[in-house]
Amino acid sequence: MSLLELKNVYKIYGELHALDDVSLTVEKGEWVSIMGPSGSGKSTMMNIIGCMDKPTKGEVLLDGVDIAKESKKNLTNIRRDKIGLIFQQFHLVNYLTALENVMLAQYYHSMPDEKEALEALERVGLADRAKHLPSQLSGGEQQRVCVARALINYPEIILADEPTGNLDEKNEEIVVELFHKLHDEGTTLIVVTHDPEVAEVAQRTLVLRDGKLSKEIVNDHFTGKIRFDDQNPF
């Protein structure tokens, strides 16, 4: 069974089809990038996969559960238990320290554990910045705190929306390297990005256009070869 499966998903706002008959599957442990121009439906798809929105039509199976049919309250629980979110704007609570921001995710999930939170910060190389407030951290550091927060509860999927959009090249590299590590550890990653360099390090890149999946690119990053597959049914 696939970890995530979208079957003929539509999201319609009046006349606008933000998602138009989208179907896709993501296997456990896979690293998938989603690319597409503005207005192509990337954010809508992120919100639906991230349990923050429901499709107008279609099935969204996460770990076998159709989240399209779940109540708002259950969606919150699924999001809390199965999904780690990373945002372009980092979105840290500005009056909590890096450590407390990571612990916040533990607090809503189960039990705050300072030691474990510190270990998560260590994994993203920020153990020495644990007591700093977001305003005292650079953009790259804030994004790494965000990664630590996303992975602290061992989610099924890490969902990253333009995670490198606000970072310089050096920090972009650090974050991509972190994704590598997570992928190696078996975490499922779905990364929405504008940046082809970030997209191509994933195993697969899905291209969205006008609410439809227009292209799937399978990246063989172990050999460095990129294979375009226009015959893909998407």
Partner 1 sequence: MKKRRMFIRMITASLMRRRSRMIVALLSITIGATILSGLVSIYYDVPKQMGAQFRNYGANMILTASGDSFKMSDVQSARAVFDEEEIVGIAPFRYENVRINDIPFVAAGTDAEEAKATSPYWAVEGDWFSAQGDVLVGSGVAESFRLKTGDMIEIAYTPEGNDESSEDGEIVLDNYDYFNVVGILETGGSEENYIYMSMDDMQALTQTEERVDVTEMSISASGDELSDYIDEINAKVPAVRASVVKRVTASEATVLTKLQALVLLVTVIVLALTMICVATTMTAVVAERRKEIGLRKAIGASDKSIIQEFMGESMLLGLFGGAIGSVLGYVFAQQVSVNVFSSSISFRPLLVPITMIVSIAVTGISSLVPIRSATDIDPALVLKGE
Using CB under 8 A, list all residues that contact partner 1: 43, 47, 50, 52-53, 73, 76-77, 79-81, 85, 87-89, 91, 93-96, 100, 103-105, 107-109, 111-114, 133, 149, 161-162, 165
User: Considering the complex, what minimum distance in angstroms separates the CB of residue 32 from partner 1?
Assistant: 20
Nearer residue to partner 1 within complex by CB, 27 or 81: 81
What letter represents residue 47's amino acid? N
Does residue 51 sit in helix, strand or coil? coil
What letter represents residue 19's amino acid? L
Alpha helices in 51-166 (DSSP H): 72-82, 98-109, 114-123, 139-151
User: Considering the complex, what minimum distance in angstroms separates the CB of residue 202 from partner 1?
Assistant: 20
Does residue 79 sit in helix, strand or coil? helix
Nearer residue to partner 1 within complex by CB, 103 or 147: 103
User: Considering the complex, what minimum distance in angstroms separates the CB of residue 80 from partner 1?
Assistant: 3
Nearer residue to partner 1 within complex by CB, 146 or 199: 146
How is residue 183 written in tokens?
A: 């992928």
- Comparing CA positions, the residue from 56, 60, 69, 68 lying closest to residue 15 is 56
Q: Is the dihedral of CA 164, 44, 107, 32 positive or negative?
A: negative
User: Considering the complex, what minimum distance in angstroms separates the CB of residue 217 from partner 1?
Assistant: 24
Nearer residue to partner 1 within complex by CB, 132 or 180: 132
- Comparing CA positions, the residue from 58, 54, 64 lying closest to residue 22 is 58
Enumerate the β-bridge partners of residue 66: 61
Nearer residue to partner 1 within complex by CB, 141 or 162: 162
User: Considering the complex, what minimum distance in angstroms separates the CB of residue 79 from partner 1?
Assistant: 6
Nearer residue to partner 1 within complex by CB, 99 or 217: 99
Could you list the beta-strand ranges (E) of 27-96: 31-35, 57-62, 65-66, 83-86
Element (H, E) at 176: helix 169-184
User: Considering the complex, what minimum distance in angstroms separates the CB of residue 199 from partner 1?
Assistant: 17
